[in-house]
Structure 1
Amino acid sequence: MDKKKLTVFPVFHYVEPSDVRYQRESFAKDFAKHENRFQDKIDDVKTWRAALTKVANLSGWHLKDISESEVIKEIIQRINSELDREVPLVSEHLVGMDSRVKELLDLCLAERLDCVRLVGICGMGGIGKTTLAREIYNRIFCKFEASSFIADVREESESRGLVSLQQTILSKFLMGAEKNISDVEEGKKILRKRLCNKKVLIVLDDVSDDKQLKALARKDWFGPGSIIIVTSRDSHLLNTYWDGVIDIYRAKGLNDDEALELFSLKAFKKPHPEENYVDLSINFVNYANGLPLALRVLGSSLFGKTLDVWRSARDKLEAKPNRDIMDVLKLSVDRLDDTQRDLFLDIACFFKEMDNYCIRDTLESLGHYTYDIDVLQGKSLITITSNGALWMHDLLKEMGRDIVRRESLEEPGKRSRLWSYKDVLHVLTSNAGTEVVEGIMLNMPIEAKEHLSAEAFSKMKILRFLKIGYVYPPRDRIGGPIQLPQGLNYLSNELRVIDWHGYPLKSMPTSFQPNKLVELRMRYSDIKQLWKGIMMLNELKLIDLSDSQNLIEIPDLSGAPNLKQLILQRCTRLYNIHASLGDLKRLIRLDLNGCKCLKSLPHKINLEALEFFNLSGCSKLKKFPYIVENMPRLWKLYLSETAIKDLSLLVIHSTGLIELDLRDCKNLSSLPIAICRLMSLKTLNLSGCSKLDELPENLRKLMAWRC
């Protein structure tokens, strides 16, 4: 055992271990004979005595009131288990694994010996969850009484059933003593009975359903110190299932250096690319965006190929994604319900690169549920960053778009979503749209101009999302990318979001009844008037017509009681705002910055939810309206470059103000005493107020104390 590193299991065959340990009874007699016989080798006899003492201290079997057949079964199981626990082969090409293994080992080996813990490894398909789990298993399995790595749980449970997986675990731990399991419930009872006192390590790889977890691993089935490692694309699955100690490790993609090394190992069988292939290698690495699956698939497919083949493969990827990669990624989408699938496809086709959007609000505007957004995040299909931005891996985006392309390979107008510049122009210029089109996004180069016919949208009856603009929107108005010389006859009444940069007409189509419209964004438009009279728009939450130089008035808004944002920045000809604006009790943001022709606001306002109010640059505005009720939520008020003279009523009713901007208010000669009662005020800008001689004494003291 000491010299050859063998494993020894003593079997005390109807003898007492203590007699062996101390050489008593028959052992005493036999050793007396040995000492007499081997007087010239007495040191050997002492070595034999020490060996027996050491053996007696080892864990083994004592045959006493136990049938030999039962002990033989246990011996076979133990030996088989130890043979399985030989050190596995070292995995090849574990690029970037050391730091990840260290992080995960810190979770697995934390000092929590009195409990059973679940360690989840979560992430998108192909990110390396299984490889990481296998490496952790290889490094720590010897610390447990029994261990088992169950691969492909999702696939195995679908093809062979959960009972088969239960039998696999039992056969690993118990050497087939319990093979005939009749159903899942019986399997649960047997697992619990046979493993409850064992410290075990179990890896369940690629779990997709809580039924799998419930059938294979429950917290009360195993002994203290046991660890269950689960790899899954769905972190919610683990959080809702396990009520014990749980640690979630989110698998990360490779950085640029690691990605290039892994790709090179597959493409060149060495950790760096060959000289003439460096630029092309970087192209493929950028395409894979840190996803190990893609790096391995692409690198292996290019091994031994010529430069011409490499270039052709790169060009093909731009036109048609790799099926092997897409099929793995698509497994995550296949298990989504209809609303979650639609949400995923909308994000992949329209929103992945739209950082300027308040993304969650816009998705809800399209009829999606916050719950489904969280589901996609839990399934590692999207990521919500710390600042609330949405992120999706490039290959997941490509996979989603591939799903939509395959709805109609030949005719784009028969697909549910259109985002490709080429495809959208084909559909709109040839009037090839159909009733299946739900969303259109057209981002054009800044110099491009296209003329559409009046019938361009006539067949798209269920269109709910329309975005037209530039790839990089210009800061100065240069007109929109789309011209409609014959006007526009039709827009779908199903539209929920319209974002049309530079809308070229003076009004919307007369047949358009936007009862479902939630967001209307038409910056730099030629709109003169939105609508006449009252239009029932109960769903409308946002209007943004900034830089629409022809806009002269805002119509009756009483039919839009749920409007939250009205943004009319730099509408320089706007002179009239309907009195109904003052009764929008859910309005949070009112931005009229730069509306230099605006002379007055509604006589009365009752904007109890208002938080942000910007009137900067309204140089003809002299009087603030009468405030019916307090505006306790108003915390930002910008009045710079206005002609306002009196702030008394405004200050009294805006007790929650944090920021007040009065720069260059040339007509302001005094501040009301009530301004001293604005206990939340942190920023007060009075620069350029040339008629303002002095501040109220209490305000001076207050500002000095705060400084």
Structure 2
Amino acid sequence: MASSTQKPSSSSSSSSTSIRKYNFDVFLSFRGEDTRNNFTDHLFVNLHRMGINTFRDDQLERGEEIKSELLRTIEKSRISIVVFSKDYARSKWCLDELAKIVECREEMEQIVLPVFYHVDPSDVRKQTGSFREAFSIHERNVDEKKVQRWKDSLTKASNLSGFHVNDGYESKHIEEITNGICKRLNPKLLPIDDDMVGIDSRLEDFKLLLDNHSNDVLVVGIYGTGGIGKTTIAKIVYNEIQCQFNGACFLEDVRERSKNGCQLQLQKQLLRGIVGQEVEFSDTNEGINIIKGRLGSKKVLIVIDDVDQLQQLKSVAGSPNWFCPGSTIIITTRDQRLLVEYGVTISYKATGLHYREALQLFSRHAFEQNDPKEDYVGLSNCMVQYAQGLPLALKVLGSSLRGMTVDEWKCALDKFKKNPMKKINDVLRISFDGLDPSQKEVFLDIACFFKGECKMSC
């Protein structure tokens, strides 16, 4: 940690930031007489509900001098929120806090977010209005250098981007502040593949569905062929919107995990992800009751990924009524009928990549560039047609052919036509295995009917 007398270089500063140990996520600075029992209390409670470890000093005994342990607490906080209210500057304690906060911002790169609570930022910046009145008193009773330090701190803090609380419901302002803090704290983001060719337009279509709904519990289904990108869409959306909820959990690969009897573990993961602590119980029925009881009053985001049986949903999200209005449940599956049976609010069909997108994704894996090499253009087109816009197939094919000669590519293409790659075939077979007996017969009839017909021109 840098000393208070020497500002570290940018390189040392960023290095120290990466290894610094924090005791609190947020330090709240406010004047108790102005906002202790209303705005600041509601903000503190909301931050706490979101799992954000927040310190407020209203339990400390006040005096003329700010206590040294409080200064250390400010240093050990990742973010400081300063609630500027009408009489904030009347408190010497608050002004000392602010001076320390600004110092930590300059020397330790602490994040500082001002909240202008029914005050004009220019009054804070220029010490006019009620702030001028406060300083007219301080200038008669406090050392000149200290007064100037307070003024400089007010000016610097008020020039930062922050939040303005004037008109409208305070709850809306508090929600906005809390979401902003959550994003700043770098929540646990799910890993996303770097090769997201063609994903942007699909994301926009999907997010439009999320935006057009009421404040009831929203249940959205994403369906489509295996390897088409359903999980990728769900992960990206989860990362982007999780901070809008009181808790969030992504239950991945539910179909495979349920085969191994992991329903109990899925229930515990859901509770741990949203409640933030382990919840012990011994059977799934007990887990259902605990989920309904503990999560029923929370606005939650739950993603249930790769489901193929209704019972897999029933054990973790049996009914939208289990959750608080404003919650969102996202389900990914290969089986559209399952979504209908569960009663989803909105269904979204994940589709394959367009030709140009598919060629780009394939080329990235085959040649580590966005277009095929000149001698491989025709063969690349054949591979892209073979993959039928399936992102998984394009990645697997491209990676398997990287570094091969043209003749080796031709041999591989003939082989793929006769015997599809096992990794791709295994993914597609899951969709076939999920069909009921009559559907399998229809599928095989169609497949056999066209056997021998020319499908590819290359």
Q: TM-score, normalising length from structure 1?
A: 0.42
In the other structure, the counterpart of 1:91 is: 193
Question: SS at 1:201's partner residue?
Answer: strand
**Counterparts of residues 224-303 of structure 1 (less than 5 Å):** 224-242=325-343, 246-303=345-402
- Deviations 1:150-183, CA, capped at 9 Å, x for gaps: 11010111124211001111111122241x2211
Question: What SS does the aligned partner of 1:305 have?
Answer: coil
Distance 1:155 1:90, change over 3 A: closer
**Residue by residue, what CA displacement relative to the aligned partner does 1:396-446 show, whole Å, maximum 9, x if unpaired?**
xxxxxxxxxxxxxxxxxxxxxxx45xxxxxxxxxxxxxxxxxxxxxx8x9x
**What is aligned with 2:26?**
8
Indicate if the aligned counterparts of 1:123 and 1:129 stay in contact, CA closer than 8 A.
Answer: yes
CA distance in 2 between counterparts of 1:285 and 1:49 reads 61
Instruction: Specify which structure has the bigger relative contact order, considering alpha-carbon pairs within 8 angstroms and separated by 6 or more residues.
Output: 2
Counterpart position of 2:421:
322
Show the counterpart of 1:17: 36
1:42 alignment counterpart:
147
Q: Does the Cα contact within 8 Å between 1:197 and 1:222 map onto a contact in 2?
A: yes
1:118 CA displacement: 0.9
Deviation at 1:88, TM superposition (A): 5.4
Equivalent position to 1:193, from 293, 297, 304: 293
Q: What CA deviation, in whole Å up to 9, does each residue of 1:306-353 have, x standing for no partner?
A: 112111101111222211111111112223333332222112222xx5
Provide the C-alpha distance between the structure 2 equivalents of 1:187 and 1:107, rounded to a whole number of angstroms.
31
1:190 to partner: Cα distance: 1.2
Q: Any conservation in 2 of the 1:263–1:295 contact (CA below 8 Å)?
A: yes
In 1, Cα distance between equivalents of 2:376 and 2:38: 74
8 Å contact from structure 1 (residues 148, 203) kept in 2: yes
Q: Does 1:219 align with 2:323?
A: no
Instruction: Give identity over the alignment, percent.
Output: 41
1:42 partner amino acid: V
- CA shift, 1:38, in A, is 4.2
Larger fraction in helix:
2
Q: Does 1:181 align with 2:281?
A: yes
Whether the 8 Å contact between 2:274 and 2:300 is mirrored in structure 1 is no
Letter matched to residue 210 of structure 2: C
In 1: Cα distance, 2:27 partner to 2:311 partner: 39
Checking the alignment, whether the CA contact within 8 Å between 2:192 and 2:235 is kept in structure 1 is no
Alignment-derived partner of residue 262 in structure 2: 161
Shift of 1:81: 11
User: 1:622-661: per-residue Cα shift (whole Å, max 9, x none)?
Assistant: xxxxxxxxxxxxxxxxxxxxxxxxxxxxxxxxxxxxxxxx
Aligned twin of 1:310: 409
Which residue does 1:102 correspond to in 2?
204
Contact kept in structure 1, 2:230 and 2:350, CA below 8 Å: yes
Query: What is the rounded CA distance, in whole Å, between the counterparts of 1:83 and 1:172 in structure 2?
Result: 17
In the alignment, the residues of structure 2 paired with residue 210 and residue 38 of structure 1 have an alpha-carbon distance, to the nearest angstrom, of 72
| Corresponding residue number in structure 2 for 1:338 | 437
Give how far 1:97 is off: 0.8
What one-letter code is carried by the residue in structure 1 that aligns with 2:146?
A: K
What is the CA-CA distance between 1:224 and the residue it aligns to? 1.7
CA–CA separation in structure 1 for the residues paired with 2:352 and 2:358: 9
Map Cα deviations across residues 31-74 of structure 1 (whole Å, 9 max, x no partner). 568765644312544788999xx99x999xxxxxxxxxxxxxxx
Gap runs ≥5 in structure 2: 1-13, 18-23, 42-56, 66-90, 97-137, 172-180
Following superposition, the deviation at residue 203 of structure 1 comes to: 1.1
Q: Could you tell me how far apart the structure 1 residues matched to 2:204 and 2:295 are?
A: 29
Q: Distance in 1 between matches of 2:391 and 2:92?
A: 68
Return the alpha-carbon distance in structure 1 between the equivalents of residues 216 and 385 of structure 2: 44
1:190 maps to amino acid: I
Deviation string 1:440-481 (CA, Å, 9 cap, x unpaired) is: xxx8x9xxxxxxxxxxxxxxxxxxxxxxxxx9xxxxxxxxxx
| Aligned-pair CA distance for 1:21 | 7.1
CA gap of 1:139–1:289, structure 2 versus 1, over 3 A, is same
TM-score by length of 2: 0.63
Q: How far is the alpha carbon of 1:264 from its aligned partner?
A: 0.5
For residues 46 and 7 of structure 1, do their structure 2 counterparts lie closer, same or farther at Cα, with a shift above 3 Å needed? farther
CA positional deviation for 1:142: 2.2
Shift in CA distance, 20/345, structure 1 to aligned 2, threshold 3 Å: closer
Aligned CA distance change for structure 1 residues 157 and 235 (closer, same or farther; 3 Å): same
Q: How many residues align?
A: 326
Are residues 1:204 and 2:222 paired? no
Write the mapping of 1:603-614 to structure 2, written as runs, cut at 5 A.
Answer: none
Measured at CA, do residues 21 and 150 of structure 1 come closer, stay the same or move farther in structure 2, by a change above 3 Å? closer
- Aligned pairs for 1:580-591 (under 5 A) are none
